[in-house]
Amino acid sequence: MLEPEAVLECVVFSDANPRECCAVQLDLLDQVAGGLKPPTLFIYSMAEEGVSLGRFHLAPLRASNALHRRLSGGRVAPMGPGFVGLSLMIPQRDWQLDGLPGSLDAARILNRYVRGFLKACRAVGIEPIYPGKDVVTVDKRIVAALGLECEDRGSAAFEMTIATECDFAALPSILDRVDPQGEILCPIVSSGEVTSLVRSWPEAANFETLVSLLRRGFAEQLGCVVRHRDGRASQPMDSSLAENWISARRLGDDLTHVATVWGQIGPVEVRFAISDGVMKRVVLSGDLIANASFVERIETALCGCRHDANEIETALRSVFGRRGDYLLGIGGSDAIRDAILSGVPR
């Protein structure tokens, strides 16, 4: 008897605003994690220019309505006309992947799930390369950025921001409007370092055509049958969920010390409050790809620690080494310790 094929539901949300898009993403991930929905490929576009923060970026104190926050980490990305977002929400981190359950690390999971996008591109004559870390390139120029969140409850989200008509060099001009105080820290890429899909395939400008291509690419790579649905039909009514999500990590006056490390993906900041030589609050932020629970445990372990190399090292060792945890973008516990020790009042 043949086993039934796996089902991948494709939910499409075009011309969204950041808050309704976040609300749908959070709702879909909860339903997939709880077994109420099948694995879901969520593909979306934004009606207006904006900025998509990774899970660990600090939102400005005066958050703009043009801010979106992804489920996973990664770099700051532009959103709006000319860009498409993608979230693959799955019940297990290695769903439909070869290998023993739980045996693949984060780097390999990223490598496997990005192949759906690579397959889609190659079907129309584009030759993308995934060189590792958080980007996909075409002709050695960035065309997409990646992220991955693996939750303690078992579910996961693989995410992409794809440059369709515009490119990542648009980010500085968007930030000038969305974040005029310059609170969002991100690297600036030149026009020679980036590209867009339309430069290789003009049909990418059509959202429905691109959705169809992505749907086929992921379905073929993962060996699934696809059900298609309009995302607006499932939009949650409670917009406060999205508002709280976007502003959950925010700059605060209590974080009096800061150190910046330029990691493998981009800038990573360690901000902390200190009183009588003891750290009262620690926040790790920036261009990180990590499981959120690991970052939270690092921050909790450091809270109450003296600003001392040995105490910091002991605290970090207590949380590093758990199977399934990952922290891409910074060198590890030594880099965090050194950053804290170099932190200066801001």
pLDDT beyond 90 at 267: yes
Q: What is the pLDDT of residue 241?
A: 84
Position with higher pLDDT, 201 vs 238: 201
Query: Is 67 in a helix, a strand, or coil?
Result: strand
pLDDT digits (tens, 9 = 90+) for 3-33: 457 999 999 999 999 998 999 999 999 999 9
Q: Measured between alpha carbons, how far is 246 from 53 in angstroms, rounded to an integer?
A: 8
Q: Measured between alpha carbons, how far is 166 from 199 in angstroms, rounded to an integer?
A: 10
* 208/242 same-domain check: yes
pLDDT beyond 50 at 148: yes
Contact 313, 340 (CB under 8 A): no
pLDDT digits (tens, 9 = 90+) for 168-212: 999 999 999 999 988 898 888 999 999 999 999 999 999 999 999
pLDDT beyond 80 at 239: no
Q: How many residues does the chain have?
A: 346
Domain boundary among 227, 247, 267: 247
The total number of structural domains that make up the chain: 2
* 94/222 same-domain check: yes
Is the residue at 275 inside a domain? yes
* 38/145 same-domain check: yes
* 114/42 same-domain check: yes
Domain boundary among 225, 247, 269: 247
Please give the torsion angle defined by the CA atoms of residues 198, 121, 47 and 226, in that order, rounded to the nearest 10 degrees: 150
CATH assignment at residue 116 = 3.30.930.10
